[in-house]
Amino acid sequence: MDHRTIDLALVIDTFLLLLIGIGPKIALVPFVETTAGMDSATKARVVRKMLVTASVVAVLLIFLGELLARLLHFSTGSLSIAGGIILVIIAVSMVLRSDDPHHGPVGEERDPMRVAVFPLAIPYLLNPAGIVMLVTISAEADSVAVVALVLGLLVVVLALDVAVFRWANHVSQRMDASRMLVTEKVFGFLLAALAVQLMPDGLHSVGVIHLSGH
């Protein structure tokens, strides 16, 4: 994806990648399960903390991602490989984990605000695919207009997150657990495919392999 010029393809691709990278789908089921034993006020606090944390980190990656890559001496290709590995671990856990008491609500034993930061904000809401994308944009965008476009689309996606998680907060008690579980498995499988794609893309970027069409 070319981040140097703005066109319709860039807008659509960026929006879809942001929807994958910081959209609600991966975090929704863990959020519902984790907050099942909490009261409404605590759930609302968890939603705010989760969204604020993911938003702040996302904006920092847009502005500081290239600097971090230079300071830590990694390329966007190596980041893509690392992101693919972490994302496939998350995807496999989504697909294979069983719906048993060990995966139930947090309850009293863990601080809800810590859970809101990890694992709900990162790596579920802002997931490895989103981190890879934001750092890549930071490294490749060479105009203020492109950065402004990404920030604008990020606001749109975060507004969708707010709507979805507020809705989930209000109706979580009436959600069909079996349907939620099935959608988690299906989406986990799709995430695994995305994770697998990130790794060869990264290997291509660092020159280890050559992919046709790149």
pLDDT of residue 191: 84
pLDDT of residue 102: 40
Rg (CA), the chain: 18
Give the burial class of 140: count Cβ atoms within 10 A of its Cβ; 0-12 exposed, 13-18 middle, 19 or more buried. middle
- What per-residue string of b and e applies to 182-213 under the rule 16 or more CB within 10 Å gives b? eebeebbeebbebbeebbbbbbbbeeeeeeee
Number of domains in the chain: 1
Domain that holds residue 56: 8-205
- Distance CA(103)–CA(36), nearest Å, equals 11
For residues 50 and 120, the answer to whether their CB atoms sit within 8 Å is yes
Residue 206: which pLDDT band, with cuts at 50, 70 and 90?
A: confident
The answer as to whether 65 is a domain residue is yes
Residue 185: which pLDDT band, with cuts at 50, 70 and 90?
A: confident
For 64-117, what is each residue's pLDDT tens digit?
999 999 999 999 899 999 999 998 998 898 888 765 544 444 444 679 999 999
The answer as to whether 194 is a domain residue is yes
Summarize the confidence of residues 33-41 as an average pLDDT.
86
For 125-148, what is each residue's pLDDT tens digit?
999 999 999 999 998 888 889 999
The answer as to whether 84 is a domain residue is yes
pLDDT of residue 104: 47
The answer as to whether 210 is a domain residue is no
pLDDT of residue 161: 96
The answer as to whether 214 is a domain residue is no
pLDDT of residue 128: 92
- Distance CA(122)–CA(139), nearest Å, equals 21
Q: What's the predicted TM-score (pTM) here?
A: 0.84
Helix 40-72 vs helix 144-171: crossing angle, to nearest 10: 150
Summarize the confidence of residues 59-66 as an average pLDDT.
94
Is a pLDDT exceeding 50 seen at residue 20?
Answer: yes
The answer as to whether 2 is a domain residue is no
